[in-house]
Amino acid sequence: MKKFLKSITHYSLSGVRTIIIRHPGVKDSIKRAIEPHISLGNSQYREIYDQWINNNLPDAITASALKRQSDQSTYRPLISIVVPTYNTDLVFLRDCLESVIAQIYENWELCIVDDASSDSRVRDIIKEYSLIDNRIKYKFLKNNRHIAGATNEAIKMVTGEYVALFDHDDILWPNALFEVVRALNDDNSIDFLYSDEDKITKDRKDYGAPFFKPDWNPDFLHSVNYITHLAVVRKTLLDKVGGPKKEYNGAQDWDLFLRITSATDRIHHIPTVLYSWRIHDQSTAKSTDSKPYVIEAQYQAIHDDLVRRGYPDAVVKQDQKNKGYWIVEYPIKDNPLISIVIPTKNQYSIVKRCVDSIYKKTTYKNFEIILVDTGSTEKSVLSWYKRLQAKHNNIKVVVWPEQPFSYARSCNEGARKANGELLVMLNNDTEVITPNWLELMAGDAQRSEIGAVGCLLYFPDRIHVQHAGIGIGLGGVAANSFSMTVNHGLPPNQHLYLNTKHNMTAVTAACMMIRKDVYDSVGGFDEKFRVTYNDVDLCLRLREKGLYNVYTPHVRLIHHESISVGLPSELKKRDTKEMQAAVRLFKRRWQKYIDHDPDLNPNINKDNAFYEVDSTINRYG
């Protein structure tokens, strides 16, 4: 399988490793070979994650070694775990409490508030455990205060420096607090920490649906509550922003995380599973459909946070195709001119299809197209240019003959000729699908904290994904995320990344929007990267300036992948020695991102682009 994939891997015109399909027969064979690999039927996916669990869920020997490390920690803050209970399943409650008592790190307190459960056995169990361990404190409410009210009552009992939020029917891994304190020993200025998580069956026999999260990812948090569990916050910060609010019951944690992350940038992600979310009929781990009021609370939490962050006009709506995901659209401001820069040469039918799709599909009117012609000789193309310019007053042809072709130089020349406030770098072998693509991308690109904006690109069959952001380190350098994935039947972790707007460390210049002043401020594309990695390098320089890059699946184009450039073996259009030199330069410059892409969890297998679990990872090995 790996040899087969390697034989069809190459570099696209804008520079990122991907897969090309040129012959229908080859396409069918690739589809048959790859689809079982990427869809990962339940049993196969579970088998991979079971191996990860075996490597990373501490056994008794590992726990003993970790305890010795814990006891030697210089900084040992008291962590207060707050748990509201209400008619909790008795077995679940015992499991919850046992998982706290079993913590490797011992300087904790457990603050439990029962929210007037009608089942008195819940309170009996709490009393029983408080006698077993004096670190367990409790309060029983006489009247039901609901989850926010009960949690706030528990917070009033807190004496610790940090507060950990814990649900009454879930399970902490034994190393949960150990990992929190280990991170704080590395940097005790951290205000807010969160970990990866998974789900566990009612009988605790099966772990599954792991959610390996990115580091702090603000746009992701407006699409879905990706933080969830385990979440730990400094008590003084919690006092400042306030605890959970009753008006957001059902999404009270999401609202709290949004308020916390508005108040601090000292946020740390612990890249390992520390928390198992119990799946049962009434849990949102199974479905938000069991709690309809959750939908309204989620909307309100996102909307109010956008107002707080200075975006009162942002439109918040539920994703109708993927219930539980949210879409935030930032209205375009001041009707800016958008310059669409398209490097091209000859190939009349290809570039015509691209330009025709822009004029036929695009709903935004204030744009210009800049065709950077790098040496066309075909009469059909040259005469078509004349017809285009006679028909449209918003298209210009920049004659830029160069040998050899350089995507970086062509785009830079197009940007110099552009009059727009916003630039779109667009491959000539693309085709617009989404009519309001410019409005959606511009709304994000105009935000002061954003660098580049990328979108979802499909192969011509409109089923297989060509691009959904770029993962640094994938394939050893950088590669298109989810290339050749079919957008159905995916495990939850993969489906979530593919179908929500979130920050990606890099996006492809096959279709990339950026503010012109930002593009100019970093010097545009580095022309040392003639045809490969130029877009990734640009995005990383934006990231170094403190800007976030955005991937949105809500803008979609077709990418007739690298038709205009081809494979290295075809017509010798690409110099493999130059490719190797580009790889060496990229590694010298950006090794730290290859080692750790903040938007790509280190537990993800970097040998492919499918966001599979790397079953060989062993955090304690």
Q: Which position has the higher pLDDT, 44 or 154?
A: 154
pLDDT by residue (tens digit) across 276-304?
A: 999 876 655 555 544 688 899 999 999 99
Can you give the pLDDT at residue 69? 95
Please state, in angstroms and rounded to a whole number, the distance separating the CA atoms of residues 217 and 257: 12
Please state, in angstroms and rounded to a whole number, the distance separating the CA atoms of residues 155 and 504: 35
pLDDT by residue (tens digit) across 590-600?
A: 999 999 999 99
Can you give the pLDDT at residue 611? 87
- Helix or strand or coil: residue 214? coil
Asked if 315 and 328 touch (Cβ cutoff 8 Å), the reply is: yes
Closest CA to 241 of 134, 178, 155, 346: 155
- Strands 231-234, 162-165: pairing is antiparallel
Q: Which CATH class is domain 69-291?
A: alpha beta
**DSSP track, 257-286:** HHHHHHH-S-EEEEEEEEEEEEP-TT-TTT
DSSP 8-state assignment for residue 547: P
Instruction: Calculate Rg over the CA atoms of the chain.
Output: 26
CB neighbours of residue 175 within 10 Å: 27
E strands of 115-266, at which residues?
Answer: 136-140, 162-165, 171-172, 192-200, 207-211, 231-234
Please state, in angstroms and rounded to a whole number, the distance separating the CA atoms of residues 565 and 516: 27
- Say whether pLDDT at 28 is over 50: no
Q: Which position has the higher pLDDT, 240 or 566?
A: 240
Across 22-31, 354-363, 400-409, 609-618, which has the greatest mean pLDDT? 354-363
* 57-71, 272-286, 351-365: range with lowest mean pLDDT: 272-286
DSSP 8-state assignment for residue 506: B
- Say whether pLDDT at 122 is over 60: yes
Task: Read off the pLDDT band of 130 (50, 70, 90).
Answer: very high
Can you give the pLDDT at residue 19? 33
Ordered by start, the domain boundaries in the chain are: 9-39+332-595, 69-291
DSSP 8-state assignment for residue 245: -
Task: Read off the pLDDT band of 42 (50, 70, 90).
Answer: low
Q: Identify the sign of the CA torsion 242, 173, 39, 605.
A: positive
- Helix or strand or coil: residue 345? coil
Can you give the pLDDT at residue 7? 29
Can you give the pLDDT at residue 576? 81
CA 428 to chain centre: 28
Cα torsion 49, 54, 55, 56 to 10°: value is 80
Can you give the pLDDT at residue 430? 98
Can you give the pLDDT at residue 505? 98
**DSSP track, 563-612:** TTT--TTSTT-S-HHHHHHHHHHHHHHHHHHHH--TTS-TTB-TTSSS--
Can you give the pLDDT at residue 468? 96
Closest CA to 498 of 554, 540, 453, 548: 554
- Say whether pLDDT at 32 is over 50: no
Closest CA to 573 of 144, 103, 12, 122: 12
User: What residue has token string 């027969």?
Assistant: 25
Can you give the pLDDT at residue 464? 92
Average pLDDT over residues 331-358: 97
pLDDT by residue (tens digit) across 366-384?
A: 999 999 999 999 999 999 9
Average pLDDT over residues 517-536: 96
Average pLDDT over residues 588-611: 95
- Strands 231-234, 267-278: pairing is unpaired
Please state, in angstroms and rounded to a whole number, the distance separating the CA atoms of residues 574 and 576: 6
pLDDT by residue (tens digit) across 559-575?
A: 996 544 443 334 344 46
* 93-107, 442-456, 562-576: range with lowest mean pLDDT: 562-576
- Helix or strand or coil: residue 615? coil
User: What residue has token string 């009454």?
Assistant: 168
E strands of 224-337, at which residues?
Answer: 231-234, 267-278, 315-318, 326-329
Can you give the pLDDT at residue 608? 86
Can you give the pLDDT at residue 562? 52
Please state, in angstroms and rounded to a whole number, the distance separating the CA atoms of residues 451 and 549: 5
Average pLDDT over residues 304-333: 96
pLDDT by residue (tens digit) across 151-188?
A: 999 999 999 999 999 999 999 999 999 999 999 999 99
Can you give the pLDDT at residue 368? 98
Task: Read off the pLDDT band of 493 (50, 70, 90).
Answer: confident
CATH architecture of the region 9-39+332-595: Alpha-Beta Complex (3.90)
- Say whether pLDDT at 483 is over 90: no
Partner residues linked to 328 by β-bridges = 316
Can 9-39+332-595 and 69-291 be said to share one CATH topology? yes
209 class by beta-carbon count within 10 Å (0-12 exposed, 13-18 middle, 19+ buried): middle
- Helix or strand or coil: residue 471? strand
